[in-house]
Amino acid sequence: MARRIAVLGSTGSVGENALRIAAAHPDRFEVVALCANSSAERLREQVRSHRPAAACLVAGPLEALDVDASACATFSGADGVLEALERARPDVVLNAITGAAGLPASEWTLRHGRTLALANKESFVAAGEYLMQLAAETGATVLPVDSEHCAIFQCLQGEDRGRIRRIFLTASGGPFRQRPLDSFGAITPAEALEHPTWSMGPRITIGSATMMNKAFEVLEARWLFDLAPEQIEILIHPQSIVHSMVEFVDGSILAQLGVPDMRVPILYCLGWPERVPFPGFQGFDPLRFRELQFHTLDVDRYPAVPLAFDALRMGGDSGAVLNAADEVATGMFLEGGIDFPAITEIVAATLRAHRPAAVRSLDDVHRADRAARQTAERLAADRPRVRSART
């Protein structure tokens, strides 16, 4: 029987790729729910070709969807995502919503004991400890779509997690790996939106340039794999071929390799525990990648990364603060309100100002998120404005 799949964030890059995979394997995957934020026209096309039982356009209006309500129940608003999930009852929820807005859907999936294909790392940055506890209570499975975590997950199949010595999270280094540090203040949004190896949405692409994305991945790995922060190493690997590695206590290191293509981890998560044929896969040619380089992380270049370890040390709701402050600061950079180094400076200052509290519910996370947004906005307002928007 086909696996019933909900694709949240269906008009984004991960969502579109997932739907391409589903269309290539109609016997295996049935798309039962689609959710998009605001791309009404594209969502309408997707509903027509995939015929889900439910669809949600978060930022409405629903009339823009113009679908036959007897064939597909339609919802809007943030709660509409959960209503669509209730209606469609998927086996697997691919959560590719951007930002903290994806947290309720991750929580719904785990609370209902379903499989979460996680492409919304912010859920785990903000509330990883809480979500993993919930998954343990309900027996839900979390499958990481994030390429590094998918690599680690694959390396851990059949392994005793108590035998991990450490993991190496790889990072491309983003577009500014070799840019002179004294010119970082002049980085434009357009420059920061050009990623050398991966093609992704704007938030995560800016996060790859500041490397806040890697900071988030440290928190994600800490909770997904129950690692101590000291067990997480970051390596700059410009080719993005080794997606990550696990070092075990016996001296063996396992790595997962492949070309940088998000369809590979998406397919792995949708098919897990089976390996499903990749449509049109041409084979990997190691000779095309004779030189795989690894460099240590330069924290002067990437000051965002140590913030992950600060947040872990602070504990409680500090991850939610890290994420919320970065959402605000990234948005302001894209609008031309602050310069590039200010993104990380504002996040760091917001985290420093935070007094951590325990997370016992999503409300606790939302409270920390709201407070951090206010702090970050205030800190940004105190800075001199830079002149240009998207140039």
Please, what is the minimum distance in Å from the beta carbon of residue 169 to Mg ion?
8
Q: Is the backbone peptide bond immediately before 273 cis, with ω within 30 degrees of 0?
A: yes
Residue with smallest beta-carbon separation from Mg ion: 146
The rounded distance, in Å, linking the Cα atoms of 105 and 80 is 10
Q: Which is nearer to Mg ion, 146 or 345 (CB)?
A: 146
Please, what is the minimum distance in Å from the beta carbon of residue 189 to Mg ion?
21
Please, what is the minimum distance in Å from the beta carbon of residue 150 to Mg ion?
9
Q: Which is nearer to Mg ion, 311 or 332 (CB)?
A: 311
What are 282's two structure tokens? 């041409």
Q: Which is nearer to Mg ion, 76 or 147 (CB)?
A: 147
Please, what is the minimum distance in Å from the beta carbon of residue 229 to Mg ion?
18
Q: Which is nearer to Mg ion, 107 or 148 (CB)?
A: 148
DSSP 28: T
Do residues 33 and 87 lie in contact, with contact meaning Cβ atoms separated by under 8 Å?
yes
Do residues 343 and 111 lie in contact, with contact meaning Cβ atoms separated by under 8 Å?
no
Which range in 48-56, 142-150, 303-311, 320-328 contacts Mg ion by CB under 5 A? 142-150
Q: Residue count at the site for Mg ion (CB under 5 A)?
A: 3
Numbers of helices and strands, H then E, in the chain: 14, 12
Which residue from 304, 109, 146 is spatially nearest to 215, judged by alpha carbons?
Answer: 304
* Site mask for Mg ion (CB under 5 A), range 116-135, x = bound: --------------------
CA distances to 172, 175, 200, 207 from 178, rounded to whole Å, are 12, 8, 21, 17
Please, what is the minimum distance in Å from the beta carbon of residue 32 to Mg ion?
27
Using the structure block, give the residue that is written with the tokens 């943030």: 78
Q: Which is nearer to Mg ion, 57 or 304 (CB)?
A: 304
Residue 42's Cβ-count burial label (10 Å; 0-12, 13-18, 19+) is: middle
Please, what is the minimum distance in Å from the beta carbon of residue 133 to Mg ion?
24
**Which of 30, 146, 326, 345: binder of Mg ion (CB under 5 A)?**
146
Mention every residue, 6+ apart, whose C-beta is less than 8 A from residue 132. Answer: 142, 223, 224, 226
The rounded distance, in Å, linking the Cα atoms of 245 and 168 is 5
Please, what is the minimum distance in Å from the beta carbon of residue 265 to Mg ion?
9
Q: Which is nearer to Mg ion, 106 or 147 (CB)?
A: 147
Which range in 58-66, 140-148, 167-175, 355-363 contacts Mg ion by CB under 5 A? 140-148
Q: Which is nearer to Mg ion, 81 or 167 (CB)?
A: 167
Interface ranges with Mg ion (CB under 5 A): 146-148
